[in-house]
Structure 1
Amino acid sequence: MKGFWMIFLFLGISTFSILSQTVVEPNQKFVWETFSFVFPEPVVVKLESTTNKKLTIYPAKRDGFFMVVRTLPWNEPLMEKVLWKESVFTRGIEPKEIQKTVGNRNFQVFQADQIRNQNALRNQVWISLDTKPALWIWIQWKSDRKDLTEFFESNLFLPL
C-alpha cells in the first residue's frame, strides 16, 4: 500500500499545472517566449503548463485587473473570432473591434464593457495577426481604475 501512495504522490506532483510563479515590479520588463510585457503595479505571473503555453497575471497588492496570455495552436486565429468574442464578452456593452499596430506587430483588438458581480469592467482581447505562434491576450480591469484604462488602452503593457 505504501508503494501505491508513493506512485500516486509522484504522478500528482508531475502533472501539477503551475510551473512557476514570479513577482514582477512595476515597469520591469517581463519576457515570455518572444514577447515582452510591463505592468502598472506589482504583479504575480504564473506560468502554467497546458497544451498551449499560458501565463496568468494578477496584481500582487490590490485588486483591479488580471491578464491571461496564451499562444494559439493554429495559424489564423481570426477564423473563429466570433467564438472568442462570445467566450469573453458575455453580455458585452458596446463591443468594438479595432486593429492596432504596436512596434512592428499588428493586433486585432476586441473590446467591450461588462457588468459582472456588480462591478463595471472593461475587457480587451488582443490577437496577434503576424506572429507564429499567434498570441492571444485577455485583459480585464475595473472601469473605475482610470490609471489602468490609460495604461492598457495606450498599449503601455507591450514595450515592443
Structure 2
Amino acid sequence: MKGFRIPLFLFLTLSNTILSQTLVEPNQNFLWESFSFQFPEPVVVKMESTSQKKLTVYPAKRDGFFMVVRILPWGEPMPDKNLWVDSVFQKPINPKRSERSILGKTFQVFEADQIRNQNALRNQVWIRLNEKPYLWIWLQWKSDRKDLTAFFESNLFLSL
C-alpha cells in the first residue's frame, strides 16, 4: 500500500485559509494577536492563516481605503527595510520616511502618494522591527477622503 498523498490544490487550500470575517464598528477596539486597532467607519476584518499571520481590513459601506497587517516571520530584524516599501510603492510621488513612537513602540513609516487606476491615493507602510513580533502595516486611502487622511496620519488606527 502506497503512502497517503494530499492533492496539491487541497494542500494550498488548507495552507491559505480564511479563518474568519468580522464586522467592526467605528472607534471600537479590535484585538488581533497582541495588537489593538480602531477604524474610522464600519469595516470588514478578514483574518487569514498563511505562512505569515495576516489581517485585511475593507470598508463595509463605502469605498475609500484598505489596510493589510502582517506579522513578519523573521528571527532577526531585516537589514533592508526598503524591501517591503518597494513592494508597495509603484512610482511613488513625494516619498517620505520618518520614525514614529506610539505608546513606547517605534515604527519606521514610509509615505507616498500614487496614481492608480485614475485614483489619487495616499500610502503608508508602517514597519516595526525592533521588537517581536515584527509587524508590517500597509494603509492605502483615496486622497479626496480628508476624513481618512486626518484619521490615519494622526495614528488613530493604532491603539496598541
Same fold (TM over 0.5): yes
Q: For residue 24 of structure 1, report the CA deviation from its aligned partner.
A: 0.2
Deviation larger for 24-33 or 9-18: 9-18
Residue in structure 2 matched with residue 18 of structure 1 by the alignment = 18
Report the Cα distance in structure 1 between the residues aligned to 2:110 and 2:16, rounded to whole angstroms: 32
Give yes or no for contact 1:36–1:159 (8 Å, CA) kept in 2.
yes
Aligned letter for 1:145?
R
Encode CA deviations 1:18-51: one digit per residue, 9 max, x unaligned. 1100000000000011100000000000000101
Give the alignment's TM-score, normalised by structure 2.
Answer: 0.89
Q: For residue 85 of structure 1, report the CA deviation from its aligned partner.
A: 1.8
Q: Gaps (5+ residues) in structure 1?
A: 1-6
Give yes or no for contact 2:22–2:46 (8 Å, CA) kept in 1.
yes
Over the residues paired in the alignment, what is the CA RMSD in angstroms? 2.0
Aligned letter for 2:53?
K
Residue in structure 1 matched with residue 4 of structure 2 by the alignment = none
Identical counterparts, % of pairs: 68
Q: How many residues are paired up?
A: 154
Structure 1 stretches of 4+ with a deviation exceeding 2 A read 7-16, 75-78
Report the Cα distance in structure 2 between the residues aligned to 1:95 and 1:119, rounded to whole angstroms: 17
Deviation larger for 76-85 or 119-128: 76-85
Residue in structure 1 matched with residue 99 of structure 2 by the alignment = 99
Residue pairs, 1:10-159, within 5 angstroms: 14-15=14-15, 17-159=17-159
Residue in structure 2 matched with residue 3 of structure 1 by the alignment = none
Q: Call closer, same or farther: CA 1:131–1:144 in 2, change over 3 Å.
A: same
Q: For residue 130 of structure 1, report the CA deviation from its aligned partner.
A: 3.1
Give the alignment's TM-score, normalised by structure 1.
Answer: 0.89
